[in-house]
Structure 1
């Protein structure tokens, strides 16, 4: 793998390489990337989907390589601006005008705690704090776009974010995440300049965990607006409920702006209520928006008038810190004016639009459907090589689907075999199970779970595609497992995902019932995980507007949505779930598939052929 990556970097050609667990893929791309960056005199950017992999690269892999290579290279961790503390904003939040600055008195205690942490912090990174920082309080002290007075800032020599940016500039290897990487790419596209983004001008990119490439790009190249965010923007300026905010200073101008802010809050409630009603009429929590202009933009004129008046007020300010805070709110106002208009008029090209209500807030969202075209032009068609890698890039052992969905091209494809012995795994296929669409499936599933969990004495992940089914299964099996001294950890109960994993590793007979987030990115080597049970083949819900729109686009282009999208996506997720079991040469166990379609349907062979040649038991 290292030779393939090195050849790609030196030739300037792109590379897609599937590297199963155990290959050592991080070393295989880091060594060539380090050497190439020194040769090209430009940094190599490594982008990952998960924080866990970022931290592994920065804290473990790169320091070890520095010793082994006996080479003095620089590596830096790149995070978005909002991860870093702003000392100037902290001084405002903790100073004599905190009543003006903070919208809620309750935030003051946590701001003081952040202030004490800032004195001992070396990098101001909120993820490194030794206590939990609430999102509300952090938003008033973090670095944010449009709210930086550098180089005139009194705290410029102590600025955490500037120090981090300087480390990026000096680095040979920059480790970023997909969110920052694609935010940077979007800025490059919008500015029509390679150096128009956040990251330094890099000479090569390595995208690890590239199986999420299409979705990560769609998330960050689209549109995302929330009612909660709109209210927070207005509360920052003036919160009529608590009589706090930036506009609490004296003067006739601010009285007028406060009144306009209160009117905007009422107008915003009315504006977003039409989308709540849109969901309620269909009794849905998520619903596509199909026609431009289908909802009146009742906020546009008010926002434009408010923006003009606020802009005049900002120009009159002499206090640079106060002015900087207000200028940041002007940028946010511009973002809402443009974003709401783009959503209502559906002006983003080749995109799907939808309204969603989660447990916390209402969301207006849009995502591009032509991700492959965008990435083919703006990523894989640039003047630097791009290496994409993951343990799961191929479907039916071919790269065709990956290339079609991501626009990959201009290079070569390499698929590596697993270094593990297939005999480490016993694959159990349940031919006798009823089809999941039949009403008798659930009862048969519960009996099968009892059998296989007793067979492995717990030590299992049970992966579900539906939280409702997970809950029913938990209710049905809790007494059975409890009677055998097997602890059941249920996703969605009081423990977080990371806490569940800690408990699972500590109690090796325990069992996790998990949904989406447990199919990927979970690493439990050793005896604690000896059994992975897949309850259903993980076909995505076709009613989600993004999935439905992708399928409609495929059909319009003459394709088959099931075979060209739904099936390959399910195969990739199936491979991710099955891949949780074997993480080292000493691991062993069973993979159980309780969906008879894997043997009863012709397409089942695609799932099986995408796995290593494990010994099979069909019952």
Structure 2
């Protein structure tokens, strides 16, 4: 008989030592999988309940005033816990808090075996989107009716536990055996469970068809590919009509399908570009259905001509949408098969070779590494891709992942026993055989600059979210170096501490260790760390002295200083040169040391173990060569067409320094490396034009010649669906009194939210203003009037914040940076959009400064040719958040009246769909909003 008591407590705060008390306890007893008892009681804490706890739990002072004190219920609680596992979601909090109360009332604290459902869920459901109880309940289809109430939470935790135990029981023997080796460093006492499950598996005759066991690790077998598509087409026009027409495949199979004129127009444009081997720029406004519009000509061209078509996106969100929604939908309706593959950078894929080694060396692992290993072991029974985006690693687990990724593996010899099972090689092979290969701008640009081919060859490509191509390309045509990354590399190689990579290498070859002493490496390591520390500290000091007059503090707390080596203070930069050369001298010595170790091992033996060590040595030498190249180019050489800048953490460590360089323009680089080499590249986005012209984006990307352009209008009736409000009574946005502007913004947000019942997205251009507005608007509100959700203040990812926003009736979402695009909130969930300031780039950003100077030297206007187009495109992205379907209606409120009062304001209003612009007092605008909505 196995008994579990699942406990959840609600409290006045987090610290019993500071006087916090329990206000409610819920307990569910499960014996052999059956609920045998439930217990719930309010507890009088003898103190007022804080308002935020009441807001979270719904428990008020009057609920507990007649409730028993903890002294009155403690014996009942202790009795229920006898001979049971103590189970809770975050078990340490509940057990420690409960024990503090037990001891306070003079009883002996509980000493029981514990199971933490957060930890067990991380291990047994590594693919879950999150591990809060509500997220897990939703993922596991467990009904959760009353969150943050003790008995409801305990009951849900019990249901989650039973599902987790079922999942554990189904794991193969080898996985359970490996988990057993890790169990003692975990929080949960589940060795008995693991042992029982292993005994069951040992006597199981049937083996799972979906798994294979290789070198003691259970792996999911890959799904075999479909046969090659064989189909003959009568032409693209009939194919498009057969697919999208009134009696086509889409309308026959999908009840919600609507035929869209713009979608078919866009598909024809792409097909024409492919046929004429032209490049094309297509702006497809919201509602066009551009994903389907480019997938159809891509599929047709690929299958008909038996050639690969590449599709590149900027965000993983769009990749996921294509792979989990759009492409499966087409595969279900089209009468022929086509193959798709996803291709990412090596850092995304697990190296089984590296992971096997790490499993064998678990002795010195901390808790986070142990947990991450356990998660990966279970995930390997599920994944066929080995892609880290499938698994929700803890933040510290990301550091471990760097040790076991395919990137850390370096070159994998085809003779390696792991080669045929390599996730990265499998992804490459699948991409070679696919009709459509989905990739991202980062890998596309990395492929353009890499000596080795990272993507399979292609002649035709569609680049979605193409407005991001320039900035991504600039990053990859540039360089980065920072102290933390360099230190990470040195620490990864390690020294003579037990468990370090270098120490393990010397221990494996004692004879080599006698000849190439560890102490020599230790001295080198000390010199490299000290000299690098001195260099980066000096750079920090150098920039700090410049900052008052040359640079400003940006939103994320970093100072950015643009430098040109030949223009820096000669004596001061001479010190940088000398320190850099000392670092280079030591790094070159380190490479020589590693090379000698590699030569010794290669000459001594040719075993699999030796190959693993020499592969690692090659990888570390390559990384150190990269450091040498970066220091050379960033600190010792001047490049006329590069912008270089140093970033320092304003309040960070004195060696937290980041060196950056980017080309001032990438147009010629993209032209040479991409557009001149490929048959047909189609670039698309909802935001490519300024004032209906493509000329700006064409110049920036090097596509001024031989590229066709097309704008596809939105099917939405913007005149009926949107009104643009601009107040005429706000304080001057450029005035010194920012507080007055923020106060006026708060009043407008609050007044408009009252009209729209929340359902508002507020977009900022800076975190600083977001934080100040968030704090100030709280003063306008009575408690519980609106739920405020703010990026950088409320916890959670962008997707989580958006979901929270949609789940509350009257909520306001504050966002900056990434919230200007890619956030899709259709329907009544969003009724108003507030744009606080026009999204101009800071004029002192190093890249902007350098580009502006280059334009001035060419006799061009930096504001009109650079600053304004960037701001207009960003504004269009923000504007596009409001209307996502033909039935949406809403108000866009722009606090920045320069959109009306300045001559350049027309560039903003003429670049968005034709909507009514109302420029009036805030009071009149609010009355107008009431009438219109």
Q: What range is the shorter-chain TM-score in?
A: over 0.9
Q: What residue number does 1:51 align with?
A: 316
Q: CA deviation at 1:198?
A: 0.8
The change in CA–CA distance for 1:105 and 1:523 in structure 2 (over 3 A counts) is: closer
Q: What residue number does 2:747 align with?
A: 447
The change in CA–CA distance for 1:97 and 1:418 in structure 2 (over 3 A counts) is: closer
Q: 1:290 aligns with which of 554, 557, 564?
A: 564
Where does structure 2 lack aligned partners over 5 or more consecutive residues? Answer: 1-265, 508-512, 548-552, 554-558, 921-933
Please give the per-residue CA displacement for 1:411-431, whole angstroms capped at 9, x wherever unaligned.
200011111001111111122
Mapped pair 1:478 → 2:765: no
Equivalent residues in 2 for 1:251-266 (5 A)? 251-252=513-514, 253=516, 254-266=518-530
The change in CA–CA distance for 1:98 and 1:79 in structure 2 (over 3 A counts) is: farther
Q: What residue number does 1:268 align with?
A: 532
Equivalent residues in 2 for 1:199-214 (5 A)? 199-214=455-470
Q: Give the TM-score normalised by structure 1.
A: 0.94
Preserved CA contact (<8 Å) 1:94 1:112 = no
Q: What residue number does 1:344 align with?
A: 635
Preserved CA contact (<8 Å) 1:508 1:527 = no
Q: CA deviation at 1:241?
A: 7.5
Q: 1:37 aligns with which of 283, 302, 312?
A: 302
CA distance in 1, matches of 2:538, 2:368: 32
CA distance in 2, matches of 1:242, 1:105: 18
The change in CA–CA distance for 1:346 and 1:21 in structure 2 (over 3 A counts) is: farther
- The number of residue pairs the alignment matches comes to 609
Q: 1:26 aligns with which of 269, 291, 295?
A: 291
Structure with bigger gyration radius? 2
Preserved CA contact (<8 Å) 2:349 2:387 = yes
Preserved CA contact (<8 Å) 1:42 1:201 = no
Q: 2:886 aligns with which of 585, 609, 612?
A: 585
State the SS of the aligned residue for 2:828: coil
Preserved CA contact (<8 Å) 1:380 1:410 = no
State the SS of the aligned residue for 1:123: coil
Preserved CA contact (<8 Å) 2:495 2:502 = no
Q: CA deviation at 1:262?
A: 2.5
Q: CA deviation at 1:79?
A: 0.8
CA distance in 2, matches of 1:14, 1:384: 8
Q: What residue number does 2:177 align with?
A: none
Please give the per-residue CA displacement for 1:529-552, whole angstroms capped at 9, x wherever unaligned.
111100111111011101111111
Q: What residue number does 1:437 align with?
A: 734
Preserved CA contact (<8 Å) 2:340 2:438 = yes
The change in CA–CA distance for 1:323 and 1:152 in structure 2 (over 3 A counts) is: same
Please give the per-residue CA displacement for 1:61-93, whole angstroms capped at 9, x wherever unaligned.
111112222221100111111111111100111
Q: 1:327 aligns with which of 591, 597, 618?
A: 618
Q: CA deviation at 1:155?
A: 1.1
Please give the per-residue CA displacement for 1:258-294, whole angstroms capped at 9, x wherever unaligned.
3212321122111211221123223452111211583
Q: Give the TM-score normalised by structure 2.
A: 0.63
Please give the per-residue CA displacement for 1:427-464, whole angstroms capped at 9, x wherever unaligned.
11122223201224233222222222222221111111
Q: CA deviation at 1:468?
A: 1.3
Preserved CA contact (<8 Å) 1:286 1:355 = yes
State the SS of the aligned residue for 1:321: helix
Mapped pair 1:389 → 2:684: yes
Q: Which moved more, 1:148-157 or 1:546-555?
A: 148-157
Please give the per-residue CA displacement for 1:116-156, whole angstroms capped at 9, x wherever unaligned.
32243222111112554622110111101672332021112
Q: What residue number does 1:366 align with?
A: 661
Where does structure 1 lack aligned partners over 5 or more consecutive residues? Answer: none
State the SS of the aligned residue for 1:437: coil
Mapped pair 1:531 → 2:794: no
CA distance in 2, matches of 1:98, 1:124: 25
Q: What residue number does 1:356 align with?
A: 647
Preserved CA contact (<8 Å) 2:344 2:439 = yes
CA distance in 2, matches of 1:555, 1:110: 53
CA distance in 1, matches of 2:363, 2:460: 45
The change in CA–CA distance for 1:98 and 1:400 in structure 2 (over 3 A counts) is: farther
State the SS of the aligned residue for 2:461: strand
Mapped pair 1:410 → 2:675: no
Q: CA deviation at 1:321?
A: 0.9
Q: What residue number does 1:164 align with?
A: 427
Q: CA deviation at 1:157?
A: 2.0
Mapped pair 1:400 → 2:695: yes
Q: CA deviation at 1:492?
A: 0.8
Q: Which moved more, 1:215-224 or 1:133-142?
A: 133-142
Runs of 4+ in 1 over 6 A off after TM superposition: 240-243
Q: What residue number does 2:437 align with?
A: 174
CA distance in 2, matches of 1:209, 1:388: 8
State the SS of the aligned residue for 2:893: strand
The change in CA–CA distance for 1:209 and 1:304 in structure 2 (over 3 A counts) is: same
Q: What residue number does 1:459 align with?
A: 759
The change in CA–CA distance for 1:96 and 1:601 in structure 2 (over 3 A counts) is: closer
Preserved CA contact (<8 Å) 2:835 2:894 = yes
CA distance in 2, matches of 1:41, 1:203: 12
CA distance in 1, matches of 2:640, 2:405: 33
Q: 1:554 aligns with which of 855, 860, 867?
A: 855
CA distance in 1, matches of 2:782, 2:796: 18
CA distance in 2, matches of 1:343, 1:435: 41
Q: CA deviation at 1:234?
A: 0.4
Equivalent residues in 2 for 1:143-158 (5 A)? 143-144=406-407, 147-158=410-421
The change in CA–CA distance for 1:490 and 1:452 in structure 2 (over 3 A counts) is: same
CA distance in 2, matches of 1:428, 1:164: 50
State the SS of the aligned residue for 2:538: helix
Mapped pair 1:138 → 2:401: yes
Mapped pair 1:69 → 2:334: yes
Preserved CA contact (<8 Å) 1:481 1:487 = no
State the SS of the aligned residue for 2:404: coil
Q: 1:309 aligns with which of 593, 596, 599?
A: 593
Q: What residue number does 1:120 align with?
A: 382
Q: CA deviation at 1:349?
A: 5.6
Q: CA deviation at 1:563?
A: 0.9
